[in-house]
Structures are given as C-alpha cells and as structure tokens.
Amino acid sequence: MSDSKASNQMWGGRFASGPAAIMEAINASISFDRKLYAQDIKGSVAHSRMLAATGIISAGDQAEIERGLNTILSEIEEGRFEFSAKLEDIHMNVEARLAALIGTAAGRLHTARSRNDQVAVDFRLWVKDELFRLDAALTALIEAFLDRAQEHAATVMPGFTHLQTAQPVTFGHHCMAYVEMFSRDLSRVRDALRRMDESPLGAAALAGTGFPIDRHMTAEALGFREPTRNSIDSVSDRDFALEFLSLAAICATHLSRLAEEIVIWSTPQFGFIRLSDQFSTGSSIMPQKKNPDAAELVRAKTGRVNGHLIGLLTVMKGLPLAYSKDMQEDKEAVFDAAETLDLMVAAMTGMVRDMGINAAAMKKAAGSGYSTATDLADWLVREAGLPFREAHHVTGRAVALAEKKGVALDRLSLAELQEIDGRITDAVFGVLSVNASVKSRASFGGTAPGEVRRQIRYWRARLKRDARPAKRS
C-alpha cells in the first residue's frame, strides 16, 4: 500500500466528510472571535453611515443596514444568535445574518472594505476597551497600597537583599515600592493607548480603495484620534496587540513578585501577615493549615501571560507584508492574557486590602540579623570622623563580638564597644535601635516615616491629577 493511500484511509476514518472538515477546523475562528461581536457591529454601523454620507450607498440602504445590525446585536446579546463555523469568523457570521434579515442591501455594506481592515479595527477597539478596564483596575490596586502604606508608615520590618535581613525599613515604604511598580504599569497602559489610537478602517485589503470614502469620519465615530497613515501597515500591524501583551507580561511579573512575598510573609516561620479567609484555603488533611492559594495562582498565571507574549511575537516574526492568515492567531493570546491579568489584579487588590499585619513579628525580625550594623558604621563616620572603610571594619568586629555572645548589637555594653574602638560614646545607642535606624534614613525616597508620608501625598495627588474619565465604547 502506498503512503498516500494509507493517509487517505486515515483521513477517511477520522473525518467522515473528508479534508473539508479538517480545513474548516483549522480555518474557522468563530469559536473565539465571536468575542468581537460588539466591536464588529459598531465598526459596521460607522462604515455604513460614512458610505451614505459620501454618497457611495443610499440613505435608505444605510437605514436598512443599521436596523439589521441592531437586530443582530440584540440577538447575540440575548443568546438567540446561531454562530456557524461554516461561516468562518465573526465578520461573515454577521454579514450572512444581515443578508437573511434585510436582503440585497446587506451586500452593499462591504463596499470599500475588506475583512483585513475590518478585523484590524475590531481588534483595536477590543484591546482599547481592555486597556480602559486595566487602567481602572490598576488604579484600585495602587489605592489599596497607598491606604496600607499610610496605615503603616512607621511600622518597622526587615528590609532584605538576597532574602537575608539587610537594614530595617518600614512596611509603608515597602508598600510604596509596589505603588511605584504599578504606577509604571499604569503609565505603560496609557502610553500604549495613545499609540494605538488610530483607525485602520478604510485601508481595505491593503492598498486603500477607489471609492471616495472619508476615513476621518469613521475614525472619529469610532473614538479614534485619527486614521492610520499607510494602508499596507494598517492591515499588517499587530503592534497594538504586542504592546498590550508586553505591558501585561511586565505587570504580571510585578504581581508574581508580590505574590511570592505574600506566600513568604504568611508562613508561620515569618508570620508577618495573616491572609483573610476569603483569600486562603484550608487543607483537606491538615486542620492547622491556611494556604495562600490565591497568591500561588497569581504567581503561576504569570507563566501563561508571559507565554502569550512570546507566542504572538513568534507568530509575527518573519511575516511578509501585508496580511497573512497567521495573524488570526493573535486573538486567543490576547483574550486569555487579558482575562487572566484582570483576575490577577483583582485578586491581589483584595489580598492587599484584607491582609492582617503582624507589626510585632515584623519588628522582632527587623531587629535580628544585626540589621543596624550600617547605622553603627555611619555613626562612626558622622560622629567620630572615621573614614567609612575603617568604620566598616570596626563595625564588623562589633558584630563578631555580638554574634559570639549571642546578643543584638544594642545589647553590647559601652565598655565592650569601647574596647573595640575607644572613640565610641554613649550616644551610639541612639542609632542602634530599629526605630532610630528607620527614622534616620530621611534622604529623598528613603524609608523614614516622614519621607514615606511625603511620597504617599505625592502619589495621591498625582493619581488624582492624571485620572482619566471612565470610558466605554
């Protein structure tokens, strides 16, 4: 038996209707691009109005088209619409239904348009909407952190490098680090919005059209700043999707770092925070356990979001201009990344708002591990005039002695300290406590409670100043 005969037999057995079924299965996108129905209908309404305004179709046909499109919108929203894989995608499903509803006038809607610019405009509108959702969600997360920072501007905790106790910081200061991170994410959302705010509609298949269309009119009707300037680029560009996935991946990565900290802080060994029942689960076998499942899932879902970025970059790399069907693979990545990220941000906002802070455990840990050693060295420089390198050496000897005796630095006696260096005086005990340590770090952006409060005021004012009015298309 020849190879080709064998494979035909395989096809025949697996797919009753032959190769056509396989073609339909690989070609159809309706199972996922139906998500674009509202954008698709909105785009078609705007296009039909422009066609009538420019005299390309009659006002009567336009009215019929718009009436039919509105009927389809209600049918879909009420779950009465029958999507068909035979009709490939959302564009053909809507157009076929329009023909069934209004007859020949439906055939005029696709004048001066192609599915290539149609899908580009639909998808841009969808991504824009997602960015508006993300804008609001990130703002809520930042506000949650600002509230926790204000509450704990003076609560001391250990600051870490290499996850080893480094220097005491305040919990408020640590929260404000996340305010900085998520504010950068928010600014990336707004930058991306500004760049993608151009309408590709009217680029047609790739070369533009001979009909006297008005692309400025459709751009304005759809809420875009202006039309795109090159018809070839308009139908081959997916930068807006890649930018969304890039900013989503960076944001997810920030969320996963926070998730990891929540996992660590909530262990009995650290005991810095208590997760609310709402965001933790019990164990089916160990009654004492309270697991940070939501945080762990945020940490894990980052893999999915980051994977989608690499996935679409790989789809787009090496694609010749202009449109290729490869680009249909852009949607599932973006839809799943968006849904996943929305959930991650919401879960984290809830956890940050709800978590109980164990200030006593944080303070105890802040004082361990010789976290004020740098304060001693700085004191020797400031008060005794030692060069920093020498102060570092003296402090190292003090730490070694404290370690040998099994006590904290501020538990060494003055006599013991003076034996190490005669220039040390009683005043040194004023900097060896964790509270004194954080209070002294009042450099701009430092951990001192007063400085943390200053940064909270700055971010509250800036958030208010830059707030965007809620927008829905």
Residues assigned a catalytic role:
162, 283
Q: Decide: is 89 part of the binding site for ligand ARG (CB under 6 A).
A: yes
Q: Decide: is 115 part of the binding site for ligand ARG (CB under 6 A).
A: yes
CB-based contact 95:107 (threshold 8 Å): no
Per CB under 6 A, the segment of 52-60, 239-247, 321-329, 462-470 that binds ligand ARG is: 321-329
142 is written with which tokens? 């930042």
Residue 56 DSSP one-character state: S
Q: Which residue has 């839809």 as its token pair? A: 335
- Shortest approach of ligand ARG to residue 256 CB, angstroms? 31
CB-based contact 120:200 (threshold 8 Å): yes
Among 124, 115, 113, which Cα is nearest to 238's?
A: 124
Nearer to ligand ARG, 119 or 249 (CB): 119
44 is written with which tokens? 């078609």
Separation in Å, CA 83 to CA 30, 65, 104, 169: 7, 19, 21, 58
414-443 binders of ligand ARG (CB under 6 A): none
Among residues 209, 234, 280, 328, which is the contact residue for ligand ARG, using CB under 6 A? 328
Q: Which helix (H) or strand (E) holds 167?
A: strand 164-170
User: β-strand 226-227 against 273-274: which pairing, if any?
Assistant: unpaired
Among residues 39, 48, 116, 170, which is the contact residue for ligand ARG, using CB under 6 A? 116
Nearer to ligand ARG, 34 or 274 (CB): 34
Number of residues this chain uses to bind ligand ARG (CB under 6 A): 10
Bridge partners for 198 per DSSP: 226
21-40 binders of ligand ARG (CB under 6 A): 29, 33
Per CB under 6 A, the segment of 115-123, 208-216, 236-244, 374-382 that binds ligand ARG is: 115-123
Q: Decide: is 254 part of the binding site for ligand ARG (CB under 6 A).
A: no
The number of residues in the chain equals 473
- Shortest approach of ligand ARG to residue 247 CB, angstroms? 22
Among 339, 345, 334, which Cα is nearest to 127's?
A: 334
Among residues 51, 131, 273, 327, which is the contact residue for ligand ARG, using CB under 6 A? 327
What crossing angle do the helices spanning 115-151 and 239-265 adopt, rounded to 10°?
30
Per CB under 6 A, the segment of 16-24, 189-197, 323-331, 396-404 that binds ligand ARG is: 323-331
- Shortest approach of ligand ARG to residue 329 CB, angstroms? 8
Residues that bind ligand ARG (CB under 6 A): 29, 33, 89, 115-116, 119, 323, 325, 327-328
